[in-house]
Amino acid sequence: MPERLNEILYRVAEEILESLAFLFPVLDEERKKTSNVFVWGASISFVGPFSGRLVILASETILPDLVKNMLGLDAGEEVSLAQQHDALMELLSIVCGNVLPVVAGKKAMFNLDVPKILSSEEYDTLMKKQDPVSQVTLELENGQADFILFIEEGTLSLNSLPLA
């Protein structure tokens, strides 16, 4: 079951990154090697047949490209931190909105909360409270994006999901 969820989450995240921002996963040897890269996180909660949240952790080095590609800006143009956070949250929102119908079926109705930037303390608290049901990493040219899916215990049996 976790493998199937991982496949779905990876596929949807990959498709959204490509279509929304022209960011494509690369092979490890194609990645620009960086060290001590700061990571930004965002979280979006959802309530429905099952409830939980989807979290994204993205290298700060990919966020300017995310904004510039979404907006069709030239490489040399500056983008603000606010725009980077906005784009990160919008990316997360779109991935979440597209993953849930694949996992639960198109008849399922979810209410998505407004996404928010996640502090490292909030993320640490989340990870201590609960194990994710799915976690995938997309390696991009300038960094990586992790998508982590948490589902609240007792909200639904994962074995009963249609998993389209």
Partner 1 sequence: MAINLLIVDDSSVMRSMIVKALRMSGIDLGAIHQAGNGKEGLDRLDEHGIDLAIVDINMPVMNGEEMIDCMRSRSDTSQIPVIVISTEGSEARIERLKEKGARFIHKPFTPERIRDVINELVGRQNA
145 CB-near residues (< 8 Å, 6+ apart): 13, 17, 56, 57, 58, 59, 62, 137, 138
**Binding residue for partner 1, selected from 33, 107, 128, 129, defined by CB under 8 A:** 107
Do residues 139 and 63 touch, judged by C-beta distance below 8 A? no
Q: With binding defined as CB under 8 A, does residue 67 bind partner 1?
A: yes
Q: What are phi and psi of 97, to 5 degrees?
A: -65, -25
**Residues 9-48 contacting partner 1, CB under 8 A:** 16, 19-20
Do residues 164 and 105 touch, judged by C-beta distance below 8 A? yes
The smaller minimum CB distance to partner 1, of residues 22 and 37, is found at 22
x/- track of binding to partner 1 for residues 87-106 (CB under 8 A): x-xx--xx-xxx-xx----x
Which residues are at the interface with partner 1 (CB under 8 A)? 16, 19-20, 67, 70-72, 83, 86-87, 89-90, 93-94, 96-98, 100-101, 106-110, 112-114
